[in-house]
Amino acid sequence: MSTAVAARFDVARVRAEFPVLARAVRNGKPLVYLDNAATAQKPRSVIEATRSFYAEDYASVHRGVHFLSERATVAYEAARARAARFLGAASPSEIVFVRGTTEAINLVAASYLRPRLQPGDEVLLTTMEHHSNIVPWQLACEEKGAKVRVLPIDRAGVLQLDQLPGLLSDRTRMVGVAHISNSLGTINPVREIVEAAHARGIPVTVDGAQAAPHLSVDVRELGCDFYACSGHKMFGPTGIGLLYGRAELLDAMPPYQGGGSMIANVTFEKTRYAEAPARFEAGTPDIAGAIGLGAAIDYLGSLPWDAVEAHEADLLAYATARLREIPGVAIVGEAPAGQKACVISFTMEGVHPHDLGTVVDQEGIAVRTGHHCTQPVMDFFGIPATTRASFAFYNTREDADALARAVRKARELFG
């Protein structure tokens, strides 16, 4: 995408849609929010959709015949239809509402993988996975006597795809891969990985938590079997997320949890389960969260995505260059242009990331410090933690300048 396309993006208009971006924080400093990989801020349309539901249309869904229940049900299922279109699913029935990416992956590990896993089987992950795309598979493997294998990365934070064929085997029962690394920003070639796995009849689960807010996702084009993402990273509410699963796979999976709404008929002798996706949505769901997520999807759909992608690419290049100018700063994860999203993890010689984060916070800048739930990544690079600045489309070059000034201040403070 060209700089000219990025220049057409009206970031001031977009920022005006996010109330929190106008507030002051530490010492009266204006907020510079660069923690978007952890969670994104919410536009007015999402806030209003949630408020309106609670104020005017609140009721439980599916089981009521009264006016409010009917309205709530229509809004809830409309959000599912929006999510299906957003991810490119063939049908709304391929979308399961979950609490977030973590629950989505746990659902797949418990309902799809566990019944199919035998001693000696394998699950293939990558070094850069978030703990949410490691631990659920580990739990299943430990229970069944299977093992996890790992596709490594190189020093740039890019997958060593030449090793993929040798790691896929007749015992591989699942491949799990992040679409975008939350700690490195690397955009992985998911379609290529899916094609290699499917050539051997192996299903693929994609952690799309970081990709859904930044890329145009089409699950059928990717060819993946499962795709998980979180509403709160997509400028929607917390506590709600999406699991896409191919219809034939969801239909063959047993329930993840038992309770109301996921049944067709219950007796003490036997229970018959509802069809997917209701089978995986036991209990009263997060109705307001789903409606808010639907509003977030509508908001994302209103944006000019060619300009958004160009704007974010410009931010990544500009902020990276500014940070590289600072003595002692080292960027962790330097995938080539076009293969990296708006995430910059870095260290500063002689300064612990937590200390750096504290100084930066005093300047009104929100970044994240720690291992970012990717301890294997930190182990690979031989570091305990990084400082991570993660940008969204509402960020600006001025935000990057503010970050650079704060990091320089920390450099001066710590010598």
The full DSSP string for 147-171 is: EEEEE-B-TTS-B-GGGHHHH--TT
Identify the segments of the chain with pLDDT beneath 70: 1-7
pLDDT at position 8:
73
Q: Catalytic site residues?
A: 373
- Token pair 């536009």 in the structure block, residue: 43
pLDDT at position 63:
81
In order of start, what are the domains of the chain with their CATH numbers?
Answer: 3-30+305-414 (3.90.1150.10), 47-301 (3.40.640.10)
Strand partners, 188: none
Query: What is the pTM for the complete model shown?
Result: 0.96
Note the pLDDT tens digit of each residue in 93-140: 999 999 999 999 999 999 999 999 999 999 999 999 999 999 999 999
Cβ atoms of residues 60 and 69 within 8 Å:
yes
Mention every residue, 6+ apart, whose C-beta is less than 8 A from residue 48. Answer: 295
pLDDT at position 1:
41
pLDDT at position 6:
58
Note the pLDDT tens digit of each residue in 300-328: 999 999 999 999 999 999 999 999 999 99
Two structure tokens written together for 314: 């410009």
Mention every residue, 6+ apart, whose C-beta is less than 8 A from residue 132. Answer: 101, 102, 105, 207, 209, 373
State the Cα–Cα distance between residues 398 and 314, nearest whole angstrom: 12
